[in-house]
Structure 1
Amino acid sequence: MAIYAIADLHLDPIGDKPMDVFSSKWENHERKIFYNWNKKIKDNDIVLLAGDISWGLKLKEAEIDLKKIVKLPGYKIISKGNHDYWWETKSKLNKLELDNIHFLFNDGYKYNNIGVAGTRGWIAKDSDEFQDKDKKIFDREINRLILSLESIKDMPVKIVMIHYPPFNVSGKTNEFVEIMRKYNVNICVYGHLHGEGHKFVKEGIIDGIEFRCIASDYINFIPIKIVD
């Protein structure tokens, strides 16, 4: 068993959100992701999908993409991204009865000695885009990360999956990392950064935590191995 990770699949159930308008690198990106996924991942592996899964606006639309993901090898853990407008309550997500998907929502996932926690995160407080209304969302996401980490606090190895980079625009770690440090998190994966945004990627050991950017275009649409 190995753990892989990828974010920002940006699957398009309706066919009206072509990603190649942003860069030619995104041409046939769904085909690239699925080809690389089938090539690398086995049925007993775990795949972390850190947000921006589907452009579907409603759960019924996103279900088209989720059923494609179900058919891929591995057990999938999915957390929310900023474009996952289809995301509903935990009970509604579970009613889809997608037997090899766990929707991470104020909870965690345990496998052997490894625990997986996470949440969406939010834009950095030192961003020009951050407004008064964003503070409430930011604080709520912090609380969701705490709830998620509480559910795996007894696990020897802890992984956090978060959509937004847990760094300020200045490059310094933010409050999300402070929480991770309190819970002795080992690895953090994040996405969200595309194209020119790749210049803000920070990876490696920071504050005792290993950080990896898993935005699909950053990793060439190839799920990367996080744990052997």
Structure 2
Amino acid sequence: MKIYVIGDLHLSGSVEKPMGVFGLHWENHHEKIEYHWKAQVRDEDLVLVPGDISWAMRLEEAMIDLQWIHQLPGKKVLLRGNHDYWWGSVTKLNHLFQNMFFLQNNSFQFGDYSICGTRGWLCANPYKFDAQDEKVYNRELQRLKLSLESTKGTGKNKIIVMTHYPPTNDKMEPSGFTEIYEAYGVEKVVYGHLHGSDGFRGALQGIHKGVQYYLTSCDFLDFKPLRIVE
């Protein structure tokens, strides 16, 4: 049983949002994702999708995109991104599909691993971080702790955290998120949100203070799911 990750699918099955405006490599990107997903992932595997799943505004509109993900191989864990306005009650979402789990203030167990996470938010930076940002940032830290605490008693001592936003600012300075990962002994962190060469340059990757970080925006991965656990 392997674990893969690919974020920022930006599907638009029911809305007019051609991704080709963001560059030629985005044209028909869903076909590239589907091709590589089916070539790599098996039904017994798990795929993590850390946010920005669908451009839909309402769940009814998002269903065509969720069904598209559902028909792909493997079990899936989905996390809310900043563009997932259709995301509503996580209890309702978790009754929709047998092989898809929606992550919010909870955790998912797979093999030896607990999958935890929260959307995240901007980390303190010199450009934009006002009182409202700080309020949301602190709320997301609490949601992350709730998710991590939900693993207690499961017997799973390996933890993978999903966030949508990066865990640091573009200077890769320590944050409340990185402190929590280190305190809870998190093994791996996957995130997305960043796009383009400028965004990729500010991405924390590799092992830092015992935690392995992965940037997993689908354009960064060339639209191929990344295997993070054999």
1:1-45 per-position Cα deviation (integer Å, ceiling 9, x unaligned): 100001000000224111111111111101100111011000000
Is the 2:170–2:203 contact (alpha carbons within 8 Å) kept by the matching residues of 1?
no
CA RMSD of aligned residues (A): 1.1
Between the aligned partners of 1:180 and 1:205, the Cα distance in structure 2 is 12
Which of 192, 217, 220 aligns to 2:222? It is: 220
Question: Which stretches in structure 2 are left out of the alignment for 5+ residues?
Answer: none
| 2:167 match | 166
Alignment correspondent of 1:121: 120
Match of 1:5 in 2: 5
User: Do residues 40 (structure 1) and 40 (structure 2) align?
Assistant: yes
1:207 to 2:206 alignment: no
* CA apart distance, 1:127: 4.8
Q: Which amino acid aligns with 2:83?
A: H
Tell me how far apart the structure 1 counterparts of residues 111 and 5 of structure 2 sit (CA, whole Å): 18
Q: Distance in 2 between matches of 1:52 and 1:61?
A: 15
**Equivalents in 1 of 2:188, 2:113: separation in Å?**
11
Q: Please give the per-residue CA displacement for 1:150-186, whole angstroms capped at 9, x wherever unaligned.
A: 1124522110011111012321131111111111000
8 Å Cα contact 2:5/2:49 also seen in 1: yes
Q: Distance in 2 between matches of 1:50 and 1:69?
A: 13
Aligned CA distance change for structure 1 residues 127 and 19 (closer, same or farther; 3 Å): farther
CA separation in 2, counterparts of 1:213 and 1:94?
A: 26
* Cα deviations by residue, 1:60-96 (Å, 9 ceiling, x for unpaired): 111110011110000000011010001101122124x
The CA distance in 2 between the partners of 1:191 and 1:211, in whole Å, is: 11
Work out the percentage of aligned pairs sharing the same amino acid. 45
Residue in structure 2 matched with residue 175 of structure 1 by the alignment = 176
Pair 1:20-2:20 in alignment: yes
Equivalent residue for 1:30?
30
By how many angstroms is 1:111 displaced? 1.9
Match of 2:91 in 1: 91
Do the aligned partners of 1:11 and 1:55 also contact (CA within 8 Å) in 2? yes
**TM-score, normalised with respect to structure 1:** 0.96
What's the CA shift for 1:128? 1.6
| Partners of 1:127 and 1:169 within 8 A in 2 | no
Q: Distance in 2 between matches of 1:107 and 1:193?
A: 25
Query: Which residue type is aligned with residue 181 of structure 1?
Result: E
Structure 1 unaligned blocks of 5 or more? none
- 1:50 corresponds to which letter in structure 2? P
Partner-residue secondary structure (3-state), 1:115: strand
Structure 1 residues 201 and 150, CA gap change in structure 2 (3 angstroms): same
Q: C-alpha displacement at 1:226, in angstroms?
A: 0.6
Paired with 1:185 and 1:54, the residues of 2 have a C-alpha distance of 28
Tell me which residue corresponds to 1:150. Answer: 149
Q: Assess if the C-alpha contact under 8 Å between 2:33 and 2:224 holds in 1.
A: yes
Q: Is the 8 A contact 2:107 2:116 kept in 1?
A: yes
Q: Is the CA contact (8 Å cut-off) linking 1:2 and 1:227 kept in structure 2?
A: yes
Letter in 2 for 1:197: G
Runs of at least 4 residues of structure 1 off by over 2 A? none
Give the match for residue 198 of structure 1: 200
3-state SS of the aligned residue for 2:30? helix
